[in-house]
Amino acid sequence: MKWADVDTTHCGVAAATSIVGDRWIPLILRDVFFGVRRFDDLLTHIGVSTAVLSNRLGRLVEHGILAKVRYRSEGSRHRYEYQLTERGLDLLLVQLALADFGYEHLVDADKRLVDFVDRSTGQRVRLGLVREDGTVIGADSLGMQINEAAASEHQM
């Protein structure tokens, strides 16, 4: 079966981008990953409007990517911060891949804001393709096996 013949109704990319495929979502996730978790701080750091931030945070909470957790600073009312859930943590590789692409192709080397490093050694970390046995492979070795039953499910 060819990819062009596949019914993509249940495509993982389509499912994921329906939630995180917006310009602001990766920026919100970037900040939450790195410790900016309160609404006002996100608003200031990202430079997004209140309405857009509220909407996107609501979407991320609704889909179980972020959890809304109550906190209270001394002398003030209860407020909320946003924390990553297990599902949200699974998006870390996506975030790192976006950053890796941006730094490799779009940001001048002298303007690079961060390097991702192994905390124990300080060595830079790069993303890669790894077989289930732990062997690193190149993109030229990557293939795709189509689940023909699922791919043709809606073509009947």
pLDDT of residue 126: 86
Task: Locate the domains of the chain by residue range.
Answer: 3-151
Instruction: Convert the pLDDT of each residue in 31-41 to its tens digit.
Output: 999 999 999 99
Q: Taking residues 55-79, what's their average pLDDT?
A: 94
Per the CB < 8 A criterion, the answer to whether 57 and 40 are in contact is: no
pLDDT of residue 83: 97
Q: How confident is the model at residue 154 (pLDDT cuts 50, 70, 90)?
A: low
Contacts 24+ apart (CB under 8 A), 98-106: 98/26, 99/30, 100/126, 100/127
pTM of the model: 0.83
Cα 102 from Cα 109, distance rounded (Å): 11
Cα 99 from Cα 92, distance rounded (Å): 11
Q: How confident is the model at residue 103 (pLDDT cuts 50, 70, 90)?
A: very high
Per the CB < 8 A criterion, the answer to whether 29 and 37 are in contact is: no
Q: Which class would CATH give 3-151?
A: mainly alpha
